[in-house]
């Protein structure tokens, strides 16, 4: 929404939308969302708070996703190794 408004009005300052040197795409996405809040509300503290919240939520989501995957894999391995196997008869 903000990017479209910026594109339609050449008088607006769109430098905050540009990716900074050395900034990863993930970092840029978080920063731009916080900067958009700052641009819309004029409150820089609120923009930084929103960016911090978004970054934290993304990290928390990644943690739970990886934990779930690791637990599911461990459960599958445990079930595999605990099941009975056919054994060869021993020689007398």
Residue 87, classed as helix, strand or coil, is: coil
Total tally of structural domains belonging to the chain: 1
Q: For residue 42, is it within any domain?
A: yes
pLDDT tens by residue, 19-67: 888 988 888 888 888 888 888 898 989 888 988 888 888 888 889 999 9
Q: For residue 24, is it within any domain?
A: yes
Read off the pLDDT band of 73 (50, 70, 90): very high
pLDDT at 28: 87
Spatial contact of 25 and 1, defined as CB atoms under 8 Å apart? no
Q: For residue 22, is it within any domain?
A: yes
What is the Cα–Cα distance from 28 to 13, expressed in whole angstroms?
17
pLDDT at 91: 66
Q: For residue 67, is it within any domain?
A: no
Q: Which domain holds residue 54?
A: 17-58
Q: For residue 46, is it within any domain?
A: yes
Q: For residue 32, is it within any domain?
A: yes
Q: For residue 88, is it within any domain?
A: no
Exposure letters 28-56 (e unless 16+ CB within 10 A, then b) = ebbbbbbbbbbbeeeeeeebeebbeebbe
pLDDT at 3: 56
Q: For residue 50, is it within any domain?
A: yes
């Amino acid at each position: 929404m903000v990017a479209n408004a910026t594109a339609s009005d050449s008088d607006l300052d769109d430098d905050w939308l540009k990716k900074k040197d050395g900034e990863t795409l993930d970092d840029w996405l978080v920063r731009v969302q916080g900067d958009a809040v700052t641009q819309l509300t004029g409150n820089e503290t609120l923009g930084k708070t929103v960016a911090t919240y978004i970054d934290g939520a993304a990290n928390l989501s990644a943690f739970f996703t990886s934990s779930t995957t690791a637990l599911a894999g461990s459960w599958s391995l445990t079930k595999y190794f605990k099941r009975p196997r056919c054994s060869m008869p021993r020689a007398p």
